[in-house]
Structure 1
Amino acid sequence: MNFTFSDTIAGQVTAYDRPTSTATVVTADGREFAVSMDGGPSAELMRNLGEPYTDASGQLDAMLVPGRFLFAYGVFYPHGDGHIFDAKRVVFLGRRPGEYRFEEQNWWIHQLEEIAAFYRKAQFGDGPVDFADYRTNIRLGGEKTDSHVQETDTISRLVYGMASAYMLTGNDAYLEVAERGTEYLRANLRFVDADEDIVYWYHGLKIEGDVQRKLFTSEFSDDYDAIPMYEQIYALAGPVQTYRITGDPRIKSDAEATLRLFDRFYLDRESGGYFSHIDPILLSADHESLGENRARKNWNSVGDHAPAYLINLYLATGDPKYAKFLEYTFDTIVEHFPDDKNSPFVQERFHRDWSHDTAHGWQLNRAVVGHNLKIAWNLMRMNSLKPKAEYAELATHIGDIMPPIGGDRQRGGWYDVVERMRREGEEHYRFVWHDRKAWWQQEQAVLAYLILFGATGQDRFQDEARGAESFYNAFFLDHDEGAVYFNVLANGLPYLLGTERLKGSHSMSMYHSSELCFLAAVYNNLLISGKAMDLHFKPDLDGFDDRVLRVAPDLLPAGSIRIGAVEIEGEPYDDYDADALTVRLPETPGRVKVKVTVEAVR
């Protein structure tokens, strides 16, 4: 191979030869690379959003010690029968070997603050929060585009991010955005069908001059002229996260009415699970107008209930009917999604009778890497609520098999869409379109392996969690413009073309980046490091049933966390059940600010 090419190597230093300035680096798959530093590469410490560049070039020799994890970007040059690698940029994860800065107590909290500040300014500038100014499409630096369809789901996802930012910081500016966004959704994008006693949500609001037109059916190409289940699911994500903070009974009422929509028109009462689409006239999942979406089921319609809103609705209410819905969801996943006889990847699309749909649209017989990881992550959450051997077994099975088939063992990070079947004589599963890496799929990997390690204590899962966190924090944070990139190349360099250049689009609106920050803070601090953290609420004292505020940050193993202290309006407060993670709110009118310190039980 007589050509040069640039690339990235991620791994641990096992040796460093000072006379030749050559480090031996071992990657996740056990390969050794000789990384030459004699070209004078720049070196830096990993930094969080909002932090300055910290140069480490002058300390390069001293820092290249065994046990240190690093990223080296450089050039492979032809040399004999192979290549030599000349490093041009080196990123260290901490000041000392074994130190990973993203495990600092406030790393993810600070990152979420920076992301929230970016989107608050991008959407509303420095002025008041007016969702009439909201835009779905946001450019790289936060500038708005001319496109002006306000999509329900992207507003809801922004609301989710802002509510999560408030829960971790107590900054009222973020709660204001979350509450105003929720009000805007209810006033402009919610349809109450009194005859059927249901609520469903419009796809979006198209604004042309002074004319506003509500878009009942989806305008996204995969779902055109239908009402896709996932849009209804994600319409609830932001309001329900806000409900955890405020207890606004109107939000709970909307959620329950939307669940009645699901059970009345999407639920397959004969074969189980939920259909992915219904037609807009008859609200039927079996109408010919749906084309290839007729009587189909998929990951989004069956499984996305849990992470998008259902776990959070249960956390806020403790209602057994939501726990039962969660159990039904995960029992369905365990029964139908594994496909070990044909592929290590889960099956994601189905016909009515659960036979596999391998000819649907762009997916065909292809795997979305992040969906596999998302299933493992959420199975472990559910296993904390209702332990079942099949939940833990499938989650750990996915966790074990995914790294070599969905992860990049040389550079770090996780791929996007791959073929579910290998070609004859080939060892790798081919990429469908490209080998780029999307921000949301990195999130699924981080959360899957953090909770797998936190719940099982198995070191192999910690190694994978650290690898995923390292790649994400080294390459996805946009230190120039703010927030995070949509996609990077396999080597970590940002990919800034087309819709993947945007910070806001049909696919991106602060949801995954904020969910990652919120739960990575929870898992790292409470499950893994044993560090306490503060959560913030601002309930209407008549909002929650029996005036009980439930403060569990996520579904975590029973007995692993407890309340350490509570403050109401800045004053110590002692009417709480530490082990049940509940606070009985005082008999006073109006709303109060509640700060709860949650600590790990060791």
Structure 2
Amino acid sequence: MRDSQFTFSDLVAGYVTAHDRERSLIDLRTSDGRELRVTLTETTSAEFLRNLGDPYLDASAHVNDLVEPGRYLYAYGISYPGGDRVFVAKRLLFLGRGVGDYHFEQPGWWSQQLRELARFYRRAQFGGKTPVDYADYRTVLRLGGDKADHHVQETDTISRLVYGMASAYMLTGDEDFLGVAERGTEYLRDHVRFVDRDEDVVYWYHGIDIRGGSESKLFTSEFGDDYDAIPMYEQIYALVGPTQTYRVTGDPRISDDIEGTLRLFRKFFHDPERGGYFSHIDPILLNPDHESLGVNRSRKNWNSVGDHAPAYLFNLFLATGDKRHADMLEETFDLIVEHFPEEGSPFVQERFHADWSPDRTWRWQQDAAVVGHNLKIAWNLMRMNAIRPKASYAELAEKLGRTMPDVGSDQWRGGWYDVVERTLREGSDSHRFVWHDRKAWWQQEQAILAYLVLAGNTGDADFTRHAREAASFYNAFFLDHDEGGVYFNVLADGTPYLLGNERLKGSHSMSMYHASELCFLATVYGRLLLHSEPLTLWFRPRPDGFSDRVLRVAPDALPPGRVRLDWVEVDDRPYEDFDPVAMTVNLPDATGDVVVRAHLSPVED
């Protein structure tokens, strides 16, 4: 067959518009309105979407009953060329039992996924040891969770694991997960924290070199983009896990470490004249303008300015209610609104010189856009708008939400791309890929959360649709049902990409943070704001936890008046000393830790 050399396998995601049972044909409409006719054969298989930990559920015998107009599904098959293009489906994936039914919108979906993620990383790093020993921790994990011979325990990846475990405890109440989080926080404090009493600051080592059974601390970064410098984002992510643990326990030592690191940021990274934070400082003079920094000299970027917010600052404010932390958040988002948008471009600018002029020559990024950063800015602007509402926050968030699908998503197959050129080439109507058309797990997280948060705040049907489509692709193709965890990257058609660093489940770029943040916040927004379902969270405050003895249980920066605290239990007994509107609990006097269950419900209109 001459044309066979031009056939290719492909994936299409779309809404069923018609189904001809007799001719075994399905008509689909993609997210952007394109039409495709799909042919079914006797060998076409079908299955239902399943979560981590769930068994395979075959649907092959029920295809004719399940294919209904309005249903969103995936068809994987072979495309044959010619004037009348033929797409023959070899596999169908149904996302739920009926039209408008999505399994990932079931109340326990995301919390179950987080539990399975926590079990995978706990088993991979520590086996069955109780308590866990972080001397066993390794940054690099192979596909199945086996440890590599990589000899550096990186601070940020430990911290990201701690974040995931603390979040898993909050959603499940599993004490083992909190134990892993607390042991990890102690390990960070004991091994990679430096308290500079002369400068009254705290900073965090890049990691620990554990070759030969000895321990050698690494002060500066060993990552290529930041080599031999102290990058702001590493200091930021050193706080991500301890801060989430602090929300649960109120440990005053963690609070002291956070405040000492905030003083580091203000004293050495902050630009007092033009605002914002520099991306790097040199390790000797702690100076952002030192010539040894090379291309990172006197630079600012999304990570150094904006990543404070999602990584630790929102969670810190949720735990403390401190005006200082809200002020820092406001300064951050005012700067983003002022400097990041570019007139005439759908993308924000991400890298800057000290004077906020755009830097479009920096190493790999040049004038490229990271799709996930645009989406991340959108959902975090909406969180900020819930704390201190400003029209500029909501306007930029909604603008990004409306423009990103056309320039950053795959509206034929589903899913979101990685890095694209910010500027259209002459004669082109799409932004070209900088490297590839693969799709990374963390970019999918940003898309799902962007549209969940936008939909939860606005009620907009398009935002809800984009949230569902993004969550569909992630749950369909990123969950590793064989080995556990989630894949780093998939090809455009959803096939796992398992080469090089992208084969790994643990690396400098991947630990447990993004996947667990997604599970936690998708639970919060999906249940409380979108589906009007209650949510229970667990906390275990220490007897010396929280200096004002107030536990703040708001799960996120939610729109005021949308959620209330219905009931509280302390050590499995009803407890009445709480404020349902402020979502605060006045903690009892106790000589030991207490377990607090906080039951939250959406406020009915």
When normalised by structure 1's length, the TM-score is 0.99
How far apart are residue 39 of structure 1 and its match?
4.5
**Higher deviation after alignment, 231-240 or 581-590:** 581-590
Q: Tell me what 1:40 maps to.
A: 43
Q: Tell me what 1:360 maps to.
A: 362
How far apart are residue 37 of structure 1 and its match?
0.8
How far apart are residue 83 of structure 1 and its match?
2.1
User: Pick from 548, 572, 586: which aligns with 1:546?
Assistant: 548
Q: Tell me what 1:188 maps to.
A: 191
- Aligned-partner residue type, residue 153 of structure 1: D
1:303-341 Cα shifts (integer Å, max 9, x gaps):
000000000000000000000000000000000000123
Does structure 2 retain, via aligned residues, the 8 Å contact 1:20–1:38?
A: no
- Aligned-partner residue type, residue 263 of structure 1: R
How far apart are residue 589 of structure 1 and its match?
1.2
CA distance in 2, matches of 1:53, 1:340: 49
Give the secondary structure class of the aligned counterpart of 2:559: coil
**Identity over aligned pairs, percent:** 66
Q: Tell me what 2:60 maps to.
A: 57
Q: Tell me what 1:331 maps to.
A: 334
How far apart are residue 82 of structure 1 and its match?
4.5
Give the secondary structure class of the aligned counterpart of 1:12: strand
CA distance in 2, matches of 1:547, 1:286: 43
CA distance in 2, matches of 1:559, 1:18: 49
1:467-493 Cα shifts (integer Å, max 9, x gaps):
000000000000000010000000001
CA distance in 2, matches of 1:585, 1:579: 17
CA distance in 1, matches of 2:515, 2:400: 23
CA distance in 1, matches of 2:399, 2:346: 10
- Aligned-partner residue type, residue 18 of structure 2: A
User: Pick from 503, 506, 511: which aligns with 1:504?
Assistant: 506
User: Pick from 375, 394, 397: which aligns with 2:396?
Assistant: 394
CA distance in 1, matches of 2:512, 2:23: 46
- Within 5 Å, give how 1:343-422 maps onto structure 2: 343-422=345-424
Q: Tell me what 1:283 maps to.
A: 286
Does structure 2 retain, via aligned residues, the 8 Å contact 1:108–1:517?
A: yes
How far apart are residue 588 of structure 1 and its match?
1.9
CA distance in 2, matches of 1:47, 1:334: 39
How far apart are residue 546 of structure 1 and its match?
2.2
Q: Tell me what 1:245 maps to.
A: 248
CA distance in 2, matches of 1:161, 1:383: 26
CA distance in 1, matches of 2:290, 2:100: 58
- Aligned-partner residue type, residue 566 of structure 2: G
Q: Tell me what 2:31 maps to.
A: 28
User: Pick from 571, 587, 591: which aligns with 1:589?
Assistant: 591
- Aligned-partner residue type, residue 559 of structure 1: G
1:335-392 Cα shifts (integer Å, max 9, x gaps):
0000123x21100000011111000010000000000000001000000001100000
Q: Tell me what 2:207 maps to.
A: 204
Q: Tell me what 2:91 maps to.
A: 89
CA distance in 1, matches of 2:469, 2:548: 44
- Within 5 Å, give how 1:528-543 maps onto structure 2: 528-543=530-545
1:118-168 Cα shifts (integer Å, max 9, x gaps):
000000001130000000000111100011200000000000000000000
Does structure 1 retain, via aligned residues, the 8 Å contact 2:250–2:541?
A: yes
Give the secondary structure class of the aligned counterpart of 1:496: coil
CA distance in 1, matches of 2:195, 2:204: 9
CA distance in 2, matches of 1:385, 1:276: 26
CA distance in 2, matches of 1:205, 1:437: 31
Q: Are residues 1:78 and 2:87 paired?
A: no
- Aligned-partner residue type, residue 492 of structure 1: G
Does structure 1 retain, via aligned residues, the 8 Å contact 2:46–2:63?
A: yes
Q: Are residues 1:262 and 2:265 paired?
A: yes
CA distance in 1, matches of 2:400, 2:42: 41
Give the secondary structure class of the aligned counterpart of 2:288: coil
User: Pick from 307, 319, 323: which aligns with 1:316?
Assistant: 319
1:397-417 Cα shifts (integer Å, max 9, x gaps):
000000010000000000000
CA distance in 1, matches of 2:88, 2:542: 60
1:81-101 Cα shifts (integer Å, max 9, x gaps):
242100111100101111011
Q: Tell me what 1:111 maps to.
A: 113
Give the secondary structure class of the aligned counterpart of 2:215: strand
CA distance in 1, matches of 2:40, 2:181: 49
How far apart are residue 540 of structure 1 and its match?
0.7
CA distance in 2, matches of 1:567, 1:91: 42
- Aligned-partner residue type, residue 511 of structure 1: Y
Q: Tell me what 1:15 maps to.
A: 18
CA distance in 2, matches of 1:453, 1:42: 34
Q: Tell me what 1:478 maps to.
A: 480
- Aligned-partner residue type, residue 287 of structure 1: H
- Aligned-partner residue type, residue 216 of structure 1: F
**Higher deviation after alignment, 570-579 or 153-162:** 570-579
Could you say what the CA RMSD is over the residues aligned between the two structures, in angstroms?
Answer: 0.8
Q: Tell me what 1:163 maps to.
A: 166
Unaligned 5+ runs, structure 1: none
When normalised by structure 2's length, the TM-score is 0.98
Does structure 1 retain, via aligned residues, the 8 Å contact 2:41–2:90?
A: no
Q: Tell me what 2:582 maps to.
A: 580
- Aligned-partner residue type, residue 176 of structure 1: G
Give the secondary structure class of the aligned counterpart of 1:209: helix
Number of corresponding residues:
600
Q: After the TM superposition, which parts of structure 1 deviate over 2 Å for at least 4 consecutive aligned residues?
A: none
**Higher deviation after alignment, 1-10 or 266-275:** 1-10
Q: Are residues 1:564 and 2:566 paired?
A: yes
Does structure 1 retain, via aligned residues, the 8 Å contact 2:115–2:172?
A: yes
Does structure 1 retain, via aligned residues, the 8 Å contact 2:372–2:446?
A: yes
- Aligned-partner residue type, residue 105 of structure 1: P
- Aligned-partner residue type, residue 294 of structure 1: R
How far apart are residue 518 of structure 1 and its match?
0.1
Does structure 1 retain, via aligned residues, the 8 Å contact 2:252–2:547?
A: no
CA distance in 1, matches of 2:47, 2:566: 38
Q: Tell me what 1:428 maps to.
A: 430
How far apart are residue 542 of structure 1 and its match?
2.2
CA distance in 2, matches of 1:106, 1:18: 35
Does structure 1 retain, via aligned residues, the 8 Å contact 2:202–2:264?
A: yes
CA distance in 1, matches of 2:171, 2:354: 42
Q: Tell me what 1:461 maps to.
A: 463
Q: Tell me what 2:152 maps to.
A: 149
Does structure 2 retain, via aligned residues, the 8 Å contact 1:39–1:88?
A: no
Q: Tell me what 2:492 maps to.
A: 490
Does structure 2 retain, via aligned residues, the 8 Å contact 1:111–1:517?
A: yes
CA distance in 2, matches of 1:564, 1:471: 35
Q: Tell me what 2:101 maps to.
A: 99
Q: Tell me what 2:8 maps to.
A: 5
